[in-house]
Chain A
Amino acid sequence: MRRVVLPALAVVLAALAVYPTVASGYGVRAMLQLFMWVALAGSWNLISGLTGYVSFGHIAFFGAGAYATALAIARWHWPWPVAALAGGVAACLLALVIGYPCLRLKGPYFAISMLGLNEVLRALVSYFEGLTGGGSGLSLPTLEATIPIYYAMGAVAVAVTALAYAIITSRFGLRLMTIREDEVAAEAMGIDTARHKLAAFLLSAAGPGIVGGLFARDQGFIEPLSTFALVMTITMIVMVLFGGKGTVWGPVLGAVVLFVSQELVWARFPYVHQLLFGAIIVAVVLLMPRGVLGVLQQRYRLPRTI
């Protein structure tokens, strides 16, 4: 398996590396967005796919990263790569502060608390107009950096996927899964579930934070409604559920399939893609609750590396 997967991966990565030299402006932009979705879905999978703690406001970390980065660039004139990393740090700090109390909540209560976090952050950003520009948004100095941002976004997508691989094939990853499977039993077996959950939560916030920062730089303008957009959290969730929660490649597969189909359909019928998304949610939940890779894994006894 390794002998097929590794060369295939190398070819894909090489192709993506030379892609901007041959592609149109639209192509590069679309691929950049795909990278963003791979990173977002992969990050959501780290906390929610593995531990079963469904985060319904994960885009809050994206938004926090976007605003931290935008402020660092616009107000303090940091170079954008440093500012984007700072966005990741800001998201991790937020995860630390919010994860400590919220990860004690079980099931739907945790999901709702995360939804609340997202709404609170959006309200705060709108309120503190002096700093963030409030509802009218925050503009960044103009800069043409689509190609460098393409590579940066790609690097984050690769890093998140590599992190997922490292976690899922480790004892740490298995322990995160025990929390999803039966938290009481995990505790009774000597697993410090609180620390494991918090660690997974921090790791799951870093990617969205950096990606949010890159998004802010790429757009050149951010405002609260589109930065803390609930629909983006839902998109991440659907991508992971479709591809297979708790697997390495499930979120990647989900992001690719859903993003591409969304682009194709959206280009022709602006409203149909929402309908399509709804239909996919219903179909996945009803027909294959484990997602595509989850089903394959169970049926063909695939290793967790897939």
Chain B
Amino acid sequence: MTPVLEVDGLVKSFGGVTAVDRVSLRLEAGAIYGLIGPNGSGKTTLFNCITGVERADAGRVLLDGRRVDGLPPWRIARLGVGRTFQTIRIFPELTAVENLLVVTEGDWEAACARARELLATVKLERLADEYAGNLSYGQQKLVEFARMLMRDPGLVLLDEPAAGVNRTLLNDLLDAVRALRDRGRTVLLVEHDMKVVMGLCETVFVLDHGEKIAEGPPGFIQGDERVIEAYFGR
């Protein structure tokens, strides 16, 4: 089967720093993948290369077997890649529902109905007409998550979804991620909270200094010597 996402020998340097160094990944449909590594190990840069925000220096990115590296971010998004950001990036002076509506195409009424429905799934229906900038941090995170779902992306990239979110909200968010997988979507998430990673992901990739140093099920990764060394030092 063609993988949903294939990253092949990706390289990205900033000046003298190689942020991503010959990284290769294969993501199959209907699974949750984790991407972990110490700060500065290249996780977000890898996300940016996959979504077209950064242009890789070498290597290929294939989406359902089709090359997408070099395409602008909006094209890649339209091919079915949704993402959330490490620091929330919503549209603060738009209302919550408008944040979702800008993503839609076609019939306006249907789009409004769908946007409100999606906000309801993250329990924000009563705040739909509030300016997004007036919402709490956690609520903004949910708006960003719901907005990402508006295009019903086949591949979902989440950059630290659990950071700064309280327990209740976190559980809602994790349930939503599992629901995505159960509908056959593929999820790749960057996360520092190991409990979240271990409880959610089927396969984990570990980056260190831009290189992929390990790959496997969470239990296996935890015992890997290179991983322990990367996190705790020799």
Contacts and interface: CB of A to CB of B under 8 A. Distances in A.
Interface size class of B (residues with CB under 8 A): 20 to 34
Given A181-B93, A187-B72, A188-B53, 15 more contacts: A174-B102, A175-B102, A181-B94, A182-B89, A182-B90, A186-B91, A187-B73, A189-B103, A189-B147, A189-B148, A189-B151, A190-B151, A194-B72, A246-B93, A301-B129
Contact of B77 (A177, A182, A187, A246): A187
Contacts of B101: 171, 174
Nearest to B148: A189
B104 A171 contact: yes
Contacts of A171: 101-102, 104, 108
A171 B115 CA distance: 13
A126 to B, nearest CB: 40
Contacts of A191: 74, 102-103
A89 to B, nearest CB: 30
A185 B74 contact: no
Contacts of A184: 53, 73, 89
B184 interface: no
The 4 closest A-B pairs by CB, nearest first: A190-B77, A181-B91, A185-B89, A187-B73
A177 B91 contact: yes
B78 interface: yes
B92 interface: yes
A182 B99 CA distance: 11
A224 B129 CA distance: 49
B98 A174 contact: yes
Nearest to A195: B74
Nearest to B111: A171
Contacts of A24: none
Interface size class of A (residues with CB under 8 A): 20 to 34
Contacts of B102: 171, 174-175, 177-178, 186, 189, 191
Contacts of B103: 189-191
A146 interface: no
7 contacts: A177-B91, A178-B91, A178-B102, A181-B93, A184-B89, A188-B89, A301-B129
Interface in B37-92: 51-53, 72-74, 77-78, 83, 85, 89-92
A263 interface: no
A186 B51 CA distance: 13
Contacts of B51: 188
A177 B108 contact: no
A129 B126 CA distance: 65
Nearest to B104: A171
Contacts of A188: 51, 53, 73-74, 77, 83, 85, 89
A194 B103 CA distance: 16
A190 B52 CA distance: 11
A193 interface: yes
B89 A190 contact: no
Contacts of A181: 90-94
Contacts of B104: 171
A174 B94 contact: yes
